[in-house]
Chains A and B, each alone.
Chain A
Amino acid sequence: MIKLQNLNLKYRKLNNPTLKEMNLEINPGEKVLIVGPSGSGKSTLGKLLNGLIPNSQTATVSGDNSAYGFALGKSTIFELSTKIGTIMQDQDAQFVGLNVAEDIAFYLENLSVDVDTMHTKVDEVMELLDITEIKDTDPSRLSGGEKQKVSLAGVLVNDVDCLLLDEPLANLDPQSAVDVMNLISDINHKLNKTIIMIEHRLEDALLINFDKVVVIDNGVIIANDAPSNIMKSDVLTNIGIRKPLFIEALSKANYDFTNVANALDYDSYDLSIFKDNIEGKSRDLNTNHNLLEVENLEFSYGEHNVLTDVNLNVKQGEIVSLLGANGTGKSTLCNAIIGINKDYNGSIKLNDESIDSLGIFERSNLIGYVMQNPNHYITETVVEDEVAFTLRQAGINKSEIDTKVEEVLEACRLLKYKKWPISMLSYGQRRRVTIAACLVKNPKLIILDEPTAGQDFETFKSIMDTVRDLRDKYNMSVLVITHNMQLAYEYSDRAIVLGSGKIQFDGKIENLYEQTEILKNNNLRSTSIQRFSKHHNISSNILGQILIGGEK
């Protein structure tokens, strides 16, 4: 049992408290979902529960707070770890062993449990989570979902009462996310563990029945209620968090929720008002000419064939989503297009001209590439310098550089941060800095690798709206890799699915939703809008168009 009474928490380095006057009770066996915008203090609360605060990060804590009999803010990490097991967002950092079994055993090893007992316990947990087969696999060969299972196993070997999960779904493909949620639900059900989960991906998280949703904004608990009540109210909307999409769409359509028994249950709704079909207004770009053409592309890492025969095109002014399971080769494909993976077979054309013989840098003048992790790209300390970098390299005169830099910063909504040190920007802002940095070269095409993974809705929206503005302004083409089906629906003109080294689907995303076989084989999943619409036998385009305001 966890109980917070008048919790205030202030990091040593900050002037103001990060958590304010919090009161919260979590009973054994409950499933609790914690939501809130970026920086609202969700992870901070998590770190207090597992003891990282104050043992590893200094902060002052006041109030009467306890977890399973241990006083929070005073107990050691070790004491709390006997009751609360933590799973963090960064799967790679969490996996410290050289292979699965060894990683799972880590906690037992540290407690000097004797080797025989250890093996028995590890085997039991692997059995429970159905990962015995991969026990000798090393981390680089595991999929995202498998890694998450290993993390869970590593915590479950220690018979904790409560699991604390901080964004376990970030970076997972849609199907893996569902699998992980079901697993968590099972663990709660079978082993009666309390579940405390922090997550931005409400659409996937709310697939299981939480007992309560706690909403945090700015360090304050602004709501704590059953999921259905939270969904029916405006709390989330007011702080810029998106509810599951079908609810979001229904709210936009001014659906009256007062009589809805359970907002998350499709059957609670009466949809007779939506009989008329609304015609979607998505742009038809089929007549535009092909800016990018990839033909018969083949690529392998040594023995490992990743791309066997890829054919695709991107038209002038088009935004195309590239979808596919974790590890299927989406990043590999983009690395081939930009010239990082240069030993490919096949041909890549831009504006009808082959670019196969061009090096990375030459290609980068034509194609902007925004890598998965902005921190890999940024070398400068100040925003302005980073954005101006390539222009300065090229020896362009200063006033011209200044004009250009201001223009792209404006376009990326970063103008006021021009002189800011990059270390002070949020992750989403850093992403936009890297977008700006590739825009200064006036590329014809930009490629974005998972631009919104692990971001809250505000950030998601600001990144994607920026991308759309840029397309409108410069008539550029955009190829965006994403696991987010809603992003694909809302922002792109066309979706391409990569799987088993080939293109599995190429067309309007509305048509993809009907291809259950393709979705299943590629670990994709339609959004709640499609599922909800299907359940009620209406066209998914109706709610879909309402949600995005009828426009792409």
Chain B
Amino acid sequence: MNTSDLFFHGDSFFHKLDASIKLLSVIVWTIFIFKFQDIRVFALFLIVGLIMLYISKVPAKLLKAPFIFIVLFTIFNSIFLLVITPQYGSELTGTYTYVIQTDHYAMTYETVFYMLTLSMKYLALLPITLLFVFTTHPTQFASSLNRIGVNYKIAYSVNLSLRYIPTVVDEMWTIKNALMIKGINIDDETNKIKKLKLYLNLLIPLMKNSIEKIDTISNAMDLRSFGYGKKRTWYRFEKFQTRDYAALATLVILMVLFLLFFAFEPRVFYYPFI
């Protein structure tokens, strides 16, 4: 596994857009979605999102897995919701139109619609994150975090974890293989608590090595003056282009609209069939 393998090389508008702008878009997008409980809004965002993904030319085969995952997730979540809180939608609308009504269990149309709304919400959150992940080179993750105001040290932690995920994954498998050589096969254990205990054998060597690694890496970084100033620059920093300013302006306008019209309104569940 290699973190840069996730990135899809391309030269679409979104590839060229500064990573920090994309990150801001994720935030603005998420704020909007969180603020509403309205299937129309979610549908709009989903469609816009899909169009953006289309423009980015990220191949469908890369997008398939996350979409399948979110669909499965929402199906599961919906079932859970209908089982545990079959009348939740009605509590919000104040109307009770029953789909099923028995002595022990009663489910309303309002809840079913609520479930659909929620599912749509989760789907609508997806495209923007995917756009960010697939069109942003990992080397730009950290600098863009810093650019939008995250402390540069924390931002650099993100860079380090992207850098060391493959190393740690390799090490983890090596240790797991070493355990197999010793006759500890975690996968074969069926008792769940015993299995959990077996993981101690993996965790201890892995942590010992990681702690040693933390010491050496931080020495290496100190020797190259990490943390010297209040600021730092980034090799990957690029000057804002017209498109970046344009995108930024759009985001600002959206946020202003949001603050003027939506931010202080209560969130209402949109139910058309009353």
Contact = CB atoms under 8 A, between A and B. Distances in A.
Nearest to B237: A115
A402 B159 CA distance: 49
Contact of A109 (B174, B234, B238): B234
A146 interface: no
Given A115-B233, A118-B235, A96 B163 contact: yes
A93 B183 contact: no
B209 A375 contact: yes
A394 B226 CA distance: 50
Contacts of B223: 50-52, 77, 81, 85-86
A97 B180 contact: no
Given A115-B237, A122-B235, A379 B216 contact: no
B217 A338 contact: no
Contacts, number: 153
B216 A98 contact: no
A376 B228 contact: no
Given A93-B213, A375-B205, A379-B201, A106 B219 contact: no
Given A98-B159, A109-B233, A115-B235, A390 B183 contact: yes
A417 interface: no
Contact of B229 (A86, A88, A110, A154): A110
A148 to B, nearest CB: 14
A155 B180 CA distance: 41
B77 interface: no
Interface in A114-132: 114-115, 118-119, 122
A98 B138 contact: yes
Interface in A129-162: 138-140, 154-155, 158
Nearest to A82: B225
Interface in B210-244: 212-213, 216-229, 231-238
Interface residues of A, number: 63
A115 B233 CA distance: 7
A386 to B, nearest CB: 10
A102 B204 contact: no
Contacts of A108: 233, 235
B166 interface: yes
Nearest to A365: B183
Interface string A62-93: 00000000000000011001000110101011
Nearest to B225: A110
A105 B229 contact: no
A464 interface: no
Contacts of B184: 393
Counting chain B CB atoms within 10 Å of each CB, the highest count among A95, A106, A378 belongs to A106
Contacts of A88: 216, 219-220
B246 to A, nearest CB: 22
A98 B162 contact: yes
A112 B224 contact: no
B117 to A, nearest CB: 40
A361 interface: yes
A361 B181 contact: yes
Contacts of B227: 110
B35 to A, nearest CB: 35
A355 to B, nearest CB: 14
Contacts of B24: none
Given A52-B222, A361-B183, A379-B179, 10 more contacts: A52-B223, A56-B222, A88-B220, A94-B217, A96-B163, A108-B233, A110-B228, A110-B232, A155-B224, A393-B183
Interface of B: 2-4, 138-139, 159-160, 162-163, 166-167, 171, 174-175, 177-185, 201, 204-205, 208-209, 212-213, 216-229, 231-238
